[in-house]
Amino acid sequence: MPVDWGEWGVQLRTISDHIIEHAKWKTEADKKKTIDEIIMKHDYLRSAYMGLWKAELQPMYYSHIKKMAQRDVEFEIREEALFALAKFRKREDIPLIKEVLQGYSLQMGRSSWGLLTEFPDTSYMEVLQDYYRRRFYKVVCRDRDLEKAGSYIGTLASYRSDSSAKILKEILNRKPMVPCTTDTVTLRQQLVRSIWNNPCTAYATLRGQISAEMRGLLKRDSINEAWTAENSGQLDTTGFYRDTATEPVRW
């Protein structure tokens, strides 16, 4: 069925998904029973994919989640299954995860970057290298998506290897930082912080190069923290209305 998605147009949803996404439960335990039922018996539904991050993963889910990760569905929900599959930490699943991420690198979002960061493997370095060669500057210059570019840098830095150091060095030393007019001040700061927050032998030279810049950022942080501490609690909320009614559990 078509569902009005406002400025994003119309999205197609099954009737089952539409009902589930707008349902309410009395307790979290009741909702958990529904999630179990969907994943175990209806893993083809969009709600099954989106329910994965709402549930505590159980061994009984594994075969269903692997099937969901292999299913050719929109990547926005497929990456939820990939992240859940990675949580099981089975080495035999790494080639599958790597292959899918390489095939959908342009669409990688929050769950994909979280997967690569929280469940690292040396073989995923190839995904990060390919992304840098084929996607990174397009994301910054064409899409102007600095959040995604920052996620890439943070994930890359977490690998603390000679291979990640090589790419970080190229990004750090490029003059100008990107071949376009996108404002990269915040991205540069994130790059510096990511290198600094991942100390390792591979980054020793880079950390020496950015040490003065990082000291400046730390000084600014301390000033901001002092201002926040000084001004916290100054908003008088006396007399503000507070709704204390019990809210039903939603999807």
Per-residue pLDDT of the chain (251 residues; tens, 9 = 90+): 676 657 767 667 789 988 898 899 989 899 999 999 999 999 999 999 999 988 888 999 999 999 999 999 999 999 999 999 999 999 999 999 999 999 999 899 999 999 999 999 999 999 999 999 999 999 999 999 999 999 999 999 999 999 999 999 999 999 999 999 999 999 999 999 999 999 999 999 999 999 999 999 999 888 767 656 666 666 555 665 666 666 778 87
d(CA 236, CA 104): 49
Cis peptide before 95 (omega within 30 of 0): no
d(CA 190, CA 111): 19
DSSP, collapsed to helix, strand or coil, labels residue 103 as: helix
pTM, 2 dp = 0.85
- Interacting residues of 202 by C-beta distance below 8 A, sequence separation 6+: 160, 161, 162, 164, 165
CA-to-CA separations, 157 to 30, 33, 65, in angstroms, rounded: 41, 39, 29
